[in-house]
Amino acid sequence: MSANLQFKPLSSGIKYDDQKPLIIAGPCSAESEEQLLNTARALKNLNVDVLRAGIWKPRTRPNSFEGHGIKALPWIQTVKKEVGLPFAVEIATPQHIEEALKHGVDILWIGARSTVNPFNVQEIADALRGVKVPVLIKNPINPELALWIGAIERIYNAGVEHIGAIHRGFSSFQKGKYRNEPLWQIPIELKTLFPDLPLICDPSHIAGKRSFIYDLSQKAMDLNYDGLMIESHLDPDNAWSDAAQQVTPVRLAEILSELKIRQATS
Ligand code: PEP
Ligand code: MN
């Protein structure tokens, strides 16, 4: 498998202190402007580097909340103006990319259900030509390293300069401890092939349950991941999506302060 792609550190695409892991946090879904603002104000105090929220939600079954879509983009602009942190959203189509960039979204991510489909990824890649913002690529839902690499290559070949990978676990028919199997060996292999590729762990979608978030985050830190994406909601039990896995900002503060982070050498 070819491994001659040259990646830049995400710190050159997003301004943050790269001596510590990049922390991306926010609710699974943007539910209202007030929710986004109040969450962002709480997270701003925790040394969170980037806010996140889904506005186009790929739900497994129909008749679930599928996100507010473009209606939520002005909310994001308001939040950015007030708290001054960069904002990341999931995009899945060229239209999403156009709308998100028009409204000042700083970081785009490709979700696990898009990475799984090369036609979809290529369409996204074509729409990303010339785009300057960082693009994070979640692993495909199924445990196939080549598909993840293929998605990274498509986005890289489109000329996107700041690319990162997000490990969010892999679905399995067999019910295990976690909602998605971490299969740590797959991201380890990815990092071995592409040592410079920034790798972020999403313990929320691996866990499916908030009590596992700390241990999974610590494991990612022990493996020298470059960052974490953690879902945080002011009232997790009443979240409109992924209720069981979200943590309050108060709990997130505890998790972040208790994590043992390897100090960079050299
Ligand atoms: C999300 O981040 O809320 C999401 C839908 O993630 P994934 O693509 O990992 O399922
Ligand atoms: Mn989610």
Q: Is 136 contained in some domain?
A: yes
Beta bridge partners, 24, equal: 50, 229
The token pair at 96 is: 């999403």
pTM for this model (two decimals): 0.97
**Ligand sitting nearest the alpha carbon of 91:** 1
Bridge-based pairing of strands 107-110 and 87-91 is parallel
Indicate whether residue 24 lines ligand 1 (CB < 6 A): no
Indicate whether residue 206 lines ligand 1 (CB < 6 A): no
129-146 pLDDT, tens digit per residue, is: 999 999 999 999 999 999
From CA 102, how far away is CA 70, in angstroms rounded? 11
Q: Whose CA is nearest to atom 1 of ligand 1?
A: 28
Indicate whether residue 111 lines ligand 1 (CB < 6 A): yes
Indicate whether residue 140 lines ligand 1 (CB < 6 A): no
Structure confidence at residue 2 as a pLDDT band (50, 70, 90): low
> Which atom of ligand 1 approaches the CA of 112 most closely?
8
| Residue 263 pLDDT greater than 90, yes or no | no
Indicate whether residue 103 lines ligand 1 (CB < 6 A): no
Q: Is 5 contained in some domain?
A: no
Bridge-based pairing of strands 227-231 and 22-26 is parallel
- The percentage of the chain sitting over the pLDDT mark of 70, rounded to a whole number, equals 97
What is this model's ipTM? Answer: 0.98
**Ligand sitting nearest the alpha carbon of 140:** 1
Q: Is 8 contained in some domain?
A: no
- The pLDDT, as a whole number, for residue 225 is 97
Structure confidence at residue 29 as a pLDDT band (50, 70, 90): very high
The token pair at 141 is: 């839902």
Contact (Cβ atoms closer than 8 angstroms) between residue 54 and residue 67: yes
Indicate whether residue 112 lines ligand 1 (CB < 6 A): yes
Domain with residue 181: its CATH number is: 3.20.20.70
Q: Is 174 exposed, middle or buried (0-12, 13-18, 19+ CB in 10 A)?
A: exposed
Tally the domains of the chain: 1
Structural domain including 51 reads 21-258
Q: Is 9 contained in some domain?
A: no
Q: Is 228 contained in some domain?
A: yes
Q: For residue 109, which amino acid is it?
A: W
Q: Whose CA is nearest to atom 3 of ligand 1?
A: 28
Q: Is 13 contained in some domain?
A: no
Computed over every residue of the chain, the mean pLDDT equals 96
Q: Is 117 contained in some domain?
A: yes
Q: Is 219 contained in some domain?
A: yes
Q: For residue 124, which amino acid is it?
A: I
